[in-house]
Amino acid sequence: KPAKPAKPAKAKNEKKQKVKKARPAGLSSEFEIAPKLSRVICWWVNFIANFSVLIGALFMSAFTGGSSGGLETTILFIVAILVWLFNAIFLPFYTGRNLGQYTSSTRYIRGDGTKPMFLHSLFVNNIGLLSLIGFVMVFTQAGSISDGGTAPIVMTSIGSVFMVLWIINWQFTRNSDLNQGLFDLMFGSYLVRYSPEEKATSGFRARLESMSQFGEKYAKRVEERAKAKEEKVASESSEEAETEEDAAEEQDNADN
């Protein structure tokens, strides 16, 4: 009885190689575009810094219904405003970076390595807050348009512009190979990796620079988990291929 041909082993799923993004023509070769993980760390740190206290104050205000806890809620709102002013206005103006960028070891630069205009930081850091304000304006004023008057129309229109502006910026970022939003393109800015100069820093700036240790530790843990997952998948694929080869050999021996 002729032996049956051995079943070919299933081809392993080859992992798609990542295509390295082209460097912008106007960006100096000494800078490296910030990777996705650094951007995620930057976004989350800024979100927590800018909105965590504010969200807590809003929840407390909604929970108490304004009947009690007035002083505590007012203090929370004041703290939220001060934290926002510190991270979204003072730090970008004074140092050119915010808490998220210090933690993720990134910063915005222009193609020649210089710091962008302060307006760029103002727009980029506050586009989320503007969209939230716009939503509140539309939600509270749209129903009053039918009552007449120009104030509801103006407030609703401004709120709609803020919301649409956020959507446009998000679409630009989503469709850009370098994750450049609307204001990044307008000001010719790029978010790049940044390491402080070797010279020692002290005081307030040194404390800010030390925040990068937390971002580096988190990024290292994420990379280690991703590497362990890849090794596990590769090991399982190898074991599956060996099992199929052994089964094919046993079938051939049985047929013979």
Cα 240 to Cα 92: distance, rounded to the nearest angstrom: 54
- Residue ranges of the domains in the chain? 36-195
User: What global pTM score does this model have?
Assistant: 0.71
Nearest to 130 by CA among 193, 88, 97, 187: 88
Six-digit token string for 232: 């596990």
Cα 160 to Cα 140: distance, rounded to the nearest angstrom: 12
Distance from CA of residue 12 to its chain's centroid?
A: 33
Residue 126 makes CB contacts below 8 A (sequence gap 6+) with: 88
pLDDT band at 1 (very low <50, low <70, confident <90, very high): very low
- 215 and 203 Cβ atoms separated by less than 8 Å: no
Cα 58 to Cα 76: distance, rounded to the nearest angstrom: 9
Query: 44-69: per-residue pLDDT in tens?
Result: 999 998 888 888 888 887 777 655 55
The more confident residue out of 27 and 87 is 87
User: Has residue 155 got a pLDDT over 50?
Assistant: yes
